[in-house]
Each structure stands twice: as C-alpha cells, then as structure tokens.
Amino acid sequence: MRGPVPWHWAALLIAGLVVPSCIAAPAPEYGVKAAFLYKFATYIRWPVSAPARPFVIGVLGDDPFGSTLGEVVRGQTVQGRGIRIRALTRKEEAVECDLVFISASEQPNVKAILARLRSTAVLTVSDLDQFAEQGGMIGLVTTEEKHVRFDINKAALDRAGLRASSQLLQLARIVDESPGGRR
C-alpha cells in the first residue's frame, strides 16, 4: 500500500486539472464587457428599425468573450428584436451587423475597419487603447483598479445617425477625434 501523495505532486495534479479550464475561460472583465455591449444596444437608437430580422452583435477578430456574450443576451431583445451573436473574420461582414465589437487581434486593421464602417448605422465598440479617439464610437477602458468604464465619441455616433440616450451620455466620458481627444 502506498503512503500519502507528496504535497508537490498533489499541487501539480490540481494545477493540471484547474489551469486548462482557466485558460479556456474568458477573463472576468469580459463578463462585465459583455453586459456593457448588451446595455449599449438598449440605450442607443438606430435610424431605422428592422423588426423582421434579429439584432446582430458581431465580434470581429479573436473572440475574447467565449460563451459569456451569448449567455448575457440569451432571451433578451433590443427594440423588440431577438439578438444573434455572429463571429466575423472580415471587416466587410461588419456592415451586416447592428453592433460590432472589434477585438484586440484587429489592432493593425482598426483604421481600415473604422473607415469601412464610417457613416453606416453600425455601432462600433472596442477595448483597444484610444479607440474612441481614433474614430470608434464607444471605447471600453479598464482602470488600474480593474473597473470598466467607457468613452463615447459623439461625433462618430452622429455621423452614423445613431442617438445615445442622455442617461448613457451622462455615464460616459465624451471624447473627440482631435489631438488629445478629450472634451
């Protein structure tokens, strides 16, 4: 009969069981960011509502949300429309969405993506640094204290014909595309 397993072997065994599940799970902040995406959709008014089709949230590039975004919007609606999540691999697909989250993997292409979506009624959201100052509509910012806040580029919303509620604007930091980017 064997004796007890040495503590370092037990620790390695537990780490082997726990670490893979941690790697596959999105960071907890992406649960918060998924909730923000849904709430943004409910506090923005689009110029034309298309109740015959679902409200489409696209994730362009590597998906940092995992299953979290789908769980957050399951059973929810936006302006009376059911919600569908769509993985996007090309910027051209983004025009078929109502809201597009631009992932960090798309950093090298962000200017081209925003140029493609400029003046379309597609709400652009990202957590890339200085996203709203670069012409994106809503930039998610994680503070040093690990709180998520957001910046809104009202000029970009206006160009697209999108209207943010006054409640949303009161909670945001309003930025613009000029050097320095803050008002």
DSSP string, 29-77: HHHHHHHHHHHHHHTEE-SS--TTS-EEEEEESS-SSTTHHHHHHTT-E
Q: What is the pLDDT of residues 39-90, one digit of tens each?
A: 999 999 988 765 678 999 999 999 999 999 999 999 999 988 999 999 999 9
Mean pLDDT along residues 118-146: 94
Cα distance between residue 102 and residue 128, in whole Å = 8
Structure tokens at 86: 């769509």
With cut-offs at 50, 70 and 90, classify the pLDDT of residue 177. confident
3-state secondary structure of 80: coil
Mean pLDDT along residues 96-115: 97
The yes-or-no verdict on residue 170 having pLDDT over 90 is: yes
Residue 142: predicted pLDDT: 92
Question: Which structural domains are found in the chain, ordered by start?
Answer: 26-175 (3.40.50.2300)
- Tokens 């970009």 belong to 156
> Mean pLDDT across the chain, nearest whole number?
85
The yes-or-no verdict on residue 135 having pLDDT over 90 is: yes
Residue 13: predicted pLDDT: 31
With cut-offs at 50, 70 and 90, classify the pLDDT of residue 119. confident
112: buried, middle or exposed (CB in 10 Å: 19+, 13-18, 0-12)?
exposed
The whole-model pTM stands at: 0.82
Cα distance between residue 123 and residue 139, in whole Å = 11
Burial 37-75 (b: 16+ CB within 10 A, else e): bbebbeebebeeeeeeebbbbbbbbebbbeebbeebbee
